[in-house]
Every structure is written in structure tokens, then in C-alpha cells.
Amino acid sequence: MNLLESMRVALRALMANKLRSALTMLGIVIGVAAVITLMAAGRGVQVYVTEQFQGIGTNLLFVVPGRMQSGGGPGHSVTRRLTMGDVAALSDPLRLPDVARVAPVYERTATVVAEGRQTSTQVQGVTPEFEEVRNWHPLVGEFISQHDLESRARVAVLGQTVVEDLFPDNPYPIGETVRINGVPFRVIGVLEEKGGTFTDADDAVLVPLTTAQVRLFSARTASGEYRVSYILVEAVSEGRMDAAAEQIRLVLRERHNIAFEDEDDFTVLSQADLIRTFGQITGVLTVFLGAIAGISLLVGGIGIMNIMLVSVTERTREIGLRKAVGARRRDILWQFLIEAVVLAVVGGLIGIGLGAAGAQVVSALIEGFRAVISVQAVVLATTVSAVVGLASGLYPAWRASRLHPIEALRYE
């Protein structure tokens, strides 16, 4: 009953000073709203990155030249590049039974001109397998065929961004001519929109791999083989990706004459590896954003403590009167603690609502992005606001409970 009486007195005191109570809660409201919004945005980035990598293709492995260091960057010394010989070796179904398709890519930056307009974009030499491995199909027209590859045809498939830059009035420029580094190419297809995680995947032009290696760029090595930038490998199933990656490693180590004790001069990455790496980065970013927003919670807690100390001073005579009629120290302690916790919890609940609204605003402002509010973030914000209220009210409540009734009654 004493606790219920303390709650009643505390709530009555808060209601008697509505404006001050509202202003005191403001810091907590802003802090919780900021935490919810920023953590929802951070979680949304994690989901967005995962979806983008999953959209690249299914059961996909990336073979890139050079050894990846623990920090995620390529090794300082690349002793050997990937070549068409490596592609042929990885296409052997007897030695790599868990590999379904192999799609080499030779990529360079080039200037593309059409109808008096010009753009600098990524030109990718690819094979017909690229369409299925990357799960990237033409919206209109056709993809590069085996005949185009064998004849080194000057045909091109354009990404959506390139079409918008070069043909703003013609979204389907099939049959039009574009010049890539001065060499004319006939447009045979326009790719469906792909988007991208950190770069615009649609800002690309696809041409036959042999055409890129022979007619556009210098891709021949000193030994006479043709280089490729990287190799995309599709495993037969998700459950066999690790086995496929190990088979790739064994074949390439043998082909590159790497001794048993030496390290690989190439790297095999899976979509899971990339998602995990970027997930760690975005996870740190989310925590960082939450910590920054949490500073405002600390400021809000200091504001509650400040107002509670003022309240103790203003209500000294009231405290003395309550003690004189029998209130114990713990009754006074509970009264002021309840006031502080109520301010923090109510402010936290309002902040959660505003944070959810802020997350919706962020989602609306960024096309294709969806901020994700997690239960953990809501529970964390609510718990932290309650703890902040408890911690900030503890000292003022203790100070109020220690007042001597006679001195309090004499206080003016």
C-alpha cells in the first residue's frame, strides 16, 4: 500500500507540472527516436546489401586473381593473372563435378558514343553462360550467342543506365550503333534493370568475350594466352558450394604450379563470404549510429536528474510535512524514483512511436530502400530509457529521503 501511495503522489506531482514534465521528457523522446530510426536504417542497409548480393545469381562463386588479405583487400603481390586456360580447366566436368557453369569476364573502362552523346562506362566481355550465371536477362532483344563469341562479332547489350545516357528518347535502341573506344558495335539487346549495392550495375555494356580480348583491348599475355578479369562459377546446388570451391582451388593450384607449402595466388569467394564481410561492416555502422544517438539519451538522463534535483529543492517543505506525519525514508525514496522512471518510460514510449515514423520517412525518401525496425532495438531503447530514468532519479531521491523533517519544515 505504501508503494501504491508513493505512485499516486508521484503521478499527482507530475500532473501538477505538466509543461515541466513534458520538457523533461523531451531529451528522452529525442534520444529514443534517434536510436530507433538510426538502428532501423542500419538494419535496412544490412538487408539491402544481402538482397543485392543474392540478386547477383544463385550458388555463385567468384574467382579473382591475387590473394585476399585478412583485411579484405587483395594481396600486395599478384604473381599470376587468370587466363582462358584457367577457364578451360574449370570447365572440366570430370575434375569439377560440383560446378554447373563457368562464366569468365574481361572488364575494362571505355568511352561509349552514340548520337552525339558520350559516356564512360564499364565494358564487360562475357560468354553466353553469363546470362544464366548472373541471372541477368535482356528486357528486349537478345543476349550474346555462341556464334557471336566464335565470330568475334561487334554486337553489344546495353545496361539501363547506358541507354538513358545515350538514348534518352529511345528506351529500346535495338539495331542502333554505338562506338566503344571508336569501334562501331550494333545494339542487339537492352538488359533488365539490376541495380547495385555500392555501384550502378546497370552502368555497363556487354560484348562478346573474344571481341573484348582481341578487337577492343589488349588482353594477350606474354605466353600467348588471353587474360580474364575474374571468373564466375555456379555450383550445382547451395549445399555443394564448399565442395565446388575446394575443387576450384585444387585445379587452379595444380595449373599454377603452386607448391604444397605456398599460398594461393588467387581467391575463391562465395556470396556468403561477401554478405558476411559487408554484414560485419554494416553491423559496425549500425552500432556506431546507435551509439551516437545514445548520447542524446545520456543528455536526456542528465536533464531528468537536473529537474528532479530542482524538484527536491522546491518541495522541501512538502517532504518535511510527509515525514512529520509518518512517511518513512523509503516512501520518499520511492516517490521520487517513480517520478523519474515514469518520465523516462513515457518519454521512451513516445520516442519509439516517433522513431517508427522516422524509419518510415527514411524508407519513403530512398527509392528501393526499406528501414527495418527490429524487436531488439525497441526492447533496447525501452530498457535503456527505464535504466536512465532510474539512474538519474536515484541521487535526487536519496537526497530527498535524507532530509531531516525539522530542517525541512523550517525551509523557506
Query: Residue 241: is it exposed, middle or buried by C-beta count within 10 angstroms (0-12/13-18/19+)?
Result: buried
More confident of the two residues 267 and 20: 267
* Average pLDDT of span 142-157: 95
- How does strand 117-126 pair with strand 204-208? parallel
331, containing H or E segment: helix 329-365
User: How far is Cα 388 from Cα 410, in angstroms, rounded to an integer?
Assistant: 33
From CA 320, how far away is CA 329, in angstroms rounded? Answer: 11
Partners of 355 in the beta sheet? none
pLDDT confidence of residue 286: 74
On whether the CB atoms of residues 110 and 121 are closer than 8 A, the answer is yes
The candidate with the shortest Cα–Cα distance to 205, out of 193, 190, 218, 217, is 190
Bigger pLDDT: 279 vs 151: 151
Q: What is the mean pLDDT of residues 301-319?
A: 72
Confidence band of 92 (pLDDT split at 50, 70, 90): very high
Percent of the chain at pLDDT > 70 equals: 84
Distances 397 to 302, 315, 392 between C-alpha atoms, Å? 14, 12, 9
Q: How many residues does the chain have?
A: 412
Average pLDDT over residues 129-149: 93
Q: What is the pLDDT of residue 314?
A: 67
Instruction: Give CA–CA dist 193/202, Å, rounded.
Output: 6
Nearest to 337 by CA among 383, 387, 384, 296: 387
**How many Cβ atoms are within 10 Å of 155's Cβ, its own excluded?**
21
pLDDT band (50, 70, 90) for residue 156: very high
Q: Is the pLDDT of residue 58 over 90?
A: no
Q: What is the mean pLDDT of the chain?
A: 82
**pLDDT top residue among 323 and 343:** 343
Dihedral (Cα; 187, 190, 195, 200), 10-degree rounding: 10
**Average pLDDT for 161-180:** 93
Helices 329-365 and 2-16: crossing angle, nearest 10°?
Answer: 60
| Residue 331 in this model has a pLDDT that exceeds 70 | yes
pLDDT for the residue numbered 155: 96
Record the pTM.
0.63
What's residue 207's pLDDT? Answer: 96
Instruction: Measure CA of the first residue to CA of the last residue in the chain; give whole Å.
Output: 31
The whole-number average pLDDT for the span 170-178 is 93
* Arithmetic mean of pLDDT, 381-404: 73
Is the pLDDT higher at 162 or at 338? 162
CA dihedral 231, 235, 241, 245 (to 10 degrees): -40
pLDDT recorded at residue 73: 46
Exposed (0-12), middle (13-18) or buried (19+): which is 385, by Cβ within 10 Å?
A: buried
Name the residue type at position 56. Answer: I
Q: What is the mean pLDDT of residues 349-378?
A: 83
Instruction: pLDDT band for 362, please (50, 70, 90 cuts).
Output: confident
Which of 346, 340, 336 has its CA nearest to residue 304?
A: 340
Closest among 334, 304, 332 to 318, alpha carbons compared: 332
Model confidence band, residue 71 (pLDDT cutoffs 50, 70, 90): very low
